[in-house]
Amino acid sequence: MVKMPREELLAFKLTVAPKLDSIINIQDTAVAVEEMKKQLSFEDMYRLLQVTHEFTTNMAANIYPFQTSQPVEGMAEALIQLEERGKDYSTSQLAELFSVSQTTINNWIQSGRLAYKRKHENEHAQIPETTRWRSSTGEWRTIKEVADAVNMQTDHSEPSIEERIKAIETTIEGMRNRYGGTYEELFEGKETTSLKMERIRQAWQTLNEELEELRSEQRV
């Protein structure tokens, strides 16, 4: 999924997030879903999936937005803060960025091709985007420059049904990991114990319904 630039994140926080947060506070799920359909465009919903996916992937700034009354705005703000301070990469994330194995990344670190020094041998590397990398031609570039070049080559066309399904599935998987179970295990036939968990249940149910609609479209 394409990373949302800071300017789009800021616009999302100011325009879309307040509408979403007001909908999340609606106790009646059916009413909330209807309001979502009325107030949000497809582009708004896709941006919500981008923000949720990116937040779940990065656990941005260790901020847990559902502790506030504006969870969507909280996620957007956390990602903006993360963008402003610069991104750190794990070796697995760099392997994906460079389309090489994690072993290759570790070899680059050891050989100096990736200008990062571990503080100790077993360190779980968090490599700043300002770290320099030497290309096969001998040119030095920062990781951020490489990432920006990759993003420029990314197809920005409207996401396909398969891409939208994958985005929702990834988000739901992140929620399963975060809350320790499936939607059915956590909420089916049970009463929610707090307003926070009710908001989570409503958001999760909406994702489930959207996923089912997309899968139905895919089967047609």
Single residue among 100, 123, 152 that ends a domain in this structure: 152
Q: What pLDDT, on a 0 to 100 scale, did the predictor assign at position 108?
A: 93
Q: Which residue range forms the structural domain that includes residue 204? A: 6-86+159-219
Dihedral (CA of 43, 48, 54, 60) sign: positive
Residue 184 lies in a domain: yes
| Greatest CA separation for the chain | 62
Continuous H helices in 69-142: 71-85, 91-98, 102-111
42 and 75 fall within a common domain: yes
> Quick one: 50 and 122 in the same domain?
no
The backbone torsions φ and ψ at residue 157, rounded to the nearest 5 degrees and listed phi first, read: -70, 165
| Beta bridge mates, 118 | none
Answer whether residue 25 is part of any domain.
Answer: yes
Q: Tell me: the pLDDT tens digits for 12-56?
A: 888 878 887 887 777 777 787 788 778 877 777 777 777 777 777
Q: Domain total for the chain?
A: 2
Residues 25 and 44 in one domain: yes
* Long-range contact set of residues 18-25: C-beta below 8 Å, sequence gap at least 24: 18/70, 18/73, 19/44, 20/48, 20/72, 21/69, 21/70, 21/71, 21/72, 21/73, 24/71, 24/72, 24/199, 24/202, 24/203, 25/69, 25/199
Whether 172 is covered by a domain: the verdict is yes
165 shares a domain with 143: no
Same-domain check for residues 32 and 128: no
Q: What are 99's two structure tokens?
A: 């389309």
> pLDDT of the chain along its 220 residues, tens only?
556 676 777 788 888 788 878 877 777 777 877 887 788 777 777 777 777 777 776 654 444 444 556 777 777 777 777 666 567 888 999 998 888 899 999 999 999 999 988 777 666 778 888 889 998 888 899 998 888 887 776 555 567 888 889 888 988 988 888 888 999 999 988 888 888 888 888 889 989 998 999 998 888 6
pTM for this prediction? 0.37
Give Cα 205 distance to the centre of its chain.
18
Task: Please indicate, yes or no, whether residues 172 and 213 belong to a single structural domain of this protein.
Answer: yes
SS3 state of residue 89: strand
Distance between CA atoms of residues 145 and 160, nearest Å: 28
Measure the CA–CA gap between 46 and 42, rounded to whole angstroms: 6
Residues 147 and 165 in one domain: no
Residue 69 located in a structural domain: yes
In a domain, 1, yes or no: no
